[in-house]
C-alpha cells in the first residue's frame, strides 16, 4: 500500500508552529475578548507592515471582503463590475449579491489572469447594454498577481475602480510592489487552504485610502458610527474572530519561510514536469505564492488519464475550476465579452492542480511527477 500524499499539509505546518500556536490560543481563552479582542488590531498592524498597505481592515471571510468593498463604493443595480470567468465563484457572487451585474471577461491562457483586450470588449458591450461600468475585480489566480500596470491604464481610461481579489496571491509581488498595494482595494481570504490561512474563516481588505478604510470599519460593524449602538448606514456583521487573529499572528511569523519553500517546490516541479506537460508561467516581473501548482494537459481525456493514474498512486489532485463562471447555471444570464471566453472554457477542461504547500520534499514531488508521467503513458 503506497502512502497517501497530502494535497496541503497543515499538520507539518502545525508541528513547525510548535507551542507558539497553543500559547497564542491559550492567551485568548484567558482574556476572553473573543469579539474584536486586542489580537485583531495587532494582526491588522502586522499585516499592514508585511504588505506595505497603509490600512488593513479584517473581516469574516474573503467573500465578505469583496462585498464590503462593493458596499463602500455603493455599487448596486445598473452597475457593471468586470470579473474573469476562470476563477472561484465568490468573485462574481459578491457582485450579484449586491444586485449589480457581473460582466464576464476572458483570461490569458498562460498566466490564467484577466485579459486586458477582452476587458475592453466587455466594457463596450456593457455600455451598449445600458449598464454603467463601475469596477473591475482582477483575480490573482493560483498565486500570481494580474497585470495591474495594464489594468490601471484601462481602469483610468474608463473611470473604473480597480480591485484585486488576492485570496490566492497574498505575499506575492510584481515590479509595481507587493500584493496589497497594487489596486485601489485588495481583498484576501484566510480560509485554511489559502497560502496564509487560519483555522476557520477570515478575510481582509487593504487600501491606501484612509476614508475608505474608515467606511469599511463601519460597514463590518453594522454600519456603526462613533458609538456601537449608533448606526449611520446599512452594514454587515463581518468581523475576524479574535482566536483566528491570534492564530494568524503566529502563522504570519513563518509565512516568509513558507513562501520561499513553496517557490523551491514550484521550481522543482518545473524541472520534473516541464518536458511532458505545460507548467505554469510567471509573467516577467511577478512572483507567485503558488496557492496552486496547476498544469495544463492537451485534452480533457488526457487530464482524466492523469487524474486516474495519480489517484491509484496515492497522489491527490484537484480541478480548479471545472466550470467557467459564465456557463454556471446561476450566472449564465449575465453579460460577457461578445467575442466569447474560449480560454476560460479550454482551461476548465484541461487544468489539473497538484499537491502544493511549503512542506513538500523531493521524494514526494518525484512520486507526483512519476504518477503524471504514467498517466501520459510516457
Ligand X SMILES: *Cc1c(COP(=O)(O)O)cnc(C)c1O
Chain residues that interact with ligand X, rule: CB under 6 A: 61-63, 87-88, 90-91, 139, 165, 167-168, 189, 191, 201, 203
Query: Which residues share a beta bridge with 206?
Result: 56, 186
Grid coordinates of 78: 445598473
Give 61 or 353: the residue with its C-beta nearer to ligand X.
61
Cβ atoms of 241 and 35 within 8 Å: the answer is yes
Q: How many helices (H) does the chain have, and how many strands (E)?
A: 12, 11
From the list 305, 307, 321, 313, the residue with the least C-alpha distance to 354 is 307
| Closest separation in Å from C-beta 19 to ligand X | 28
| Closest separation in Å from C-beta 90 to ligand X | 4
| Closest separation in Å from C-beta 310 to ligand X | 22
| Closest separation in Å from C-beta 190 to ligand X | 7
* Maximum Cα interatomic distance, the chain, rounded to a whole number of Å: 67
Give 113 or 181: the residue with its C-beta nearer to ligand X.
113
Give 71 or 273: the residue with its C-beta nearer to ligand X.
71
Cβ atoms of 142 and 266 within 8 Å: the answer is no
Give 148 or 191: the residue with its C-beta nearer to ligand X.
191
Give 141 or 272: the residue with its C-beta nearer to ligand X.
141
| DSSP notation for 173-242 | EETTEETTSSSSEEEEE--TTSSS--SS--EEEEES-HHHHHHHHHHTBTTB-SSTT-B-S---B---BH
| Closest separation in Å from C-beta 6 to ligand X | 19
Amino acid at each position: 500500500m503506497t502512502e497517501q500524499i497530502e494535497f496541503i499539509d497543515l499538520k507539518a505546518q502545525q508541528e513547525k508552529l510548535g507551542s507558539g500556536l497553543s500559547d497564542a490560543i491559550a492567551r485568548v481563552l484567558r482574556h476572553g475578548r473573543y469579539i474584536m479582542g486586542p489580537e485583531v488590531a495587532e494582526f491588522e498592524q502586522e499585516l499592514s507592515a508585511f504588505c506595505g498597505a497603509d490600512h488593513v481592515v479584517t473581516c469574516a471571510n474573503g467573500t465578505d471582503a469583496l462585498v464590503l468593498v462593493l458596499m463602500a463604493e455603493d455599487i448596486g443595480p445598473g452597475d457593471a463590475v468586470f470579473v474573469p470567468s476562470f476563477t472561484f465563484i465568490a468573485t462574481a457572487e459578491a457582485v450579484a449579491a449586491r444586485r449589480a451585474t457581473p460582466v464576464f471577461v476572458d483570461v490569458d491562457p498562460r498566466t490564467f489572469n484577466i485579459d486586458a483586450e477582452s476587458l475592453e470588449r466587455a466594457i463596450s458591450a456593457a455600455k451598449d447594454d445600458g449598464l454603467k461600468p463601475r469596477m473591475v475585480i482582477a483575480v490573482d489566480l493560483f498565486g500570481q498577481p494580474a497585470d495591474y500596470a495594464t489594468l490601471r491604464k484601462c481602469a483610468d481610461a474608463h473611470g473604473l475602480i480597480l480591485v484585486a481579489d488576492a485570496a490566492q496571491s497574498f505575499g506575492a509581488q510584481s515590479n509595481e510592489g507587493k500584493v496589497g498595494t497594487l489596486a485601489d482595494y485588495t481583498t484576501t481570504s484566510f480560509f485554511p487552504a489559502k497560502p496564509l490561512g487560519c483555522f476557520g474563516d477570515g478575510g481582509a481588505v487593504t487600501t491606501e485610502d484612509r476614508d475608505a478604510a474608515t467606511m469599511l470599519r463601519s460597514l463590518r460593524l453594522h454600519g456603526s458610527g462613533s458609538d456601537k449602538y449608533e448606526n449611520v448606514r446599512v452594514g454587515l456583521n463581518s468581523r475576524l474572530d479574535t482566536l483566528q487573529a491570534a492564530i494568524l499572528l503566529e502563522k504570519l511569523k513563518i509565512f516568509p519561510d513558507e513562501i520561499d519553500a513553496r517557490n523551491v517546490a514550484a521550481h522543482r516541479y518545473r524541472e520534473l514536469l516541464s518536458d511532458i506537460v505545460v507548467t505554469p508561467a510567471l509573467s516577467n516581473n511577478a512572483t507567485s505564492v503558488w496557492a496552486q501548482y496547476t498544469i495544463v494537459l492537451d485534452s480533457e481525456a488526457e487530464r482524466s488519464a492523469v487524474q486516474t493514474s495519480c489517484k491509484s498512486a496515492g497522489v491527490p489532485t484537484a480541478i480548479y475550476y471545472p466550470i467557467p463562471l459564465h456557463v454556471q447555471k446561476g450566472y449564465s444570464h449575465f453579460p460577457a465579452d461578445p467575442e466569447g471566453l474560449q480560454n476560460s472554457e479550454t482551461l476548465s477542461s484541461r487544468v489539473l492542480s497538484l499537491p502544493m504547500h511549503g512542506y513538500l520534499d523531493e521524494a514526494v514531488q518525484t512520486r507526483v511527477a512519476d504518477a503524471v508521467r504514467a498517466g501520459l503513458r510516457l
